């Protein structure tokens, strides 16, 4: 049985052999991160709704591109927290709560010495009431090469809502 998937962004049909995907809930594990980068999220890639197919691999925070081509890359990270203390920075003191939340989808490749930011999304949390949650969705098409590695970086890993698979996820598929 061959399944077809409709790619709404292009109006074209993707057959099952072109689908490369990771749909996963993040595990909150702070770890060392690359120079000048926010911490990278770790992903569950085998349990629940999460999967990788057709040579797509997940290794140590990275989704590894199995073949060169045009890919739709996407992520939704849902953040939750309590009322922000915006503008509360006093001299010599760090702010307790963030003014904004940031998500970056980053590409690491052997042909370039520094990681490249593919997509960046930012939302202010200054005007949000006491207990808040904010999803931040990113998605776009990129020409990627075999062996390119993708990761998701966030400004504050402690605010990521990883309680349900439909709140926080990450993936890519070949167009």
What pLDDT is recorded for position 90?
38
> What are the residues facing 117 on neighbouring strands?
106
pLDDT by residue (tens digit) across 89-106?
433 445 455 688 999 999
Residue 22 binned pLDDT confidence (cut-offs 50, 70, 90)? low
Distances (CA, A) of 106 to 64, 86, 132, 139, 151: 12, 28, 26, 12, 5
For residue 83, name the pLDDT band (cuts at 50, 70, 90): low
For residue 91, the model assigns a pLDDT of: 36
Handedness of CA 39, 107, 142, 12 (dihedral sign): negative
**132 in Cβ contact with 98 (< 8 Å):** no
3 CB burial (10 A radius; 0-12, 13-18, 19+): exposed
pLDDT digits (tens, 9 = 90+) for 36-52: 578 888 877 666 666 67
d(CA 165, CA 28): 13
114-139 pLDDT, tens per residue?
A: 899 999 999 988 766 677 888 999 99
């Amino acid at each position: 049985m061959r399944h077809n998937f409709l790619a709404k962004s292009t109006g074209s049909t993707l057959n099952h052999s072109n689908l490369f995907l990771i749909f996963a809930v993040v595990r909150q594990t702070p770890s060392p991160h690359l120079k000048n980068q926010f911490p990278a999220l770790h992903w569950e890639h085998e349990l629940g709704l999460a999967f990788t197919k057709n040579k797509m691999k997940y290794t140590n925070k990275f989704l590894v591109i199995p073949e060169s081509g045009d890919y739709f890359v996407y992520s939704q990270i849902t953040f939750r927290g309590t009322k922000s203390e915006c503008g509360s920075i006093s001299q010599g003191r760090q702010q307790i709560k963030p003014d904004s939340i940031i998500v970056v989808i980053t590409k690491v490749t052997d042909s370039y010495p520094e990681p490249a930011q593919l997509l960046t999304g930012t939302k202010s949390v200054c005007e949000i009431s006491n207990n808040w949650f904010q999803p931040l969705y990113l998605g776009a098409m990129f020409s990627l090469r075999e062996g390119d590695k993708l990761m998701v970086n966030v400004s504050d890993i402690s605010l990521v809502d990883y309680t349900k698979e439909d709140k926080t996820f990450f993936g890519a598929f070949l167009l």
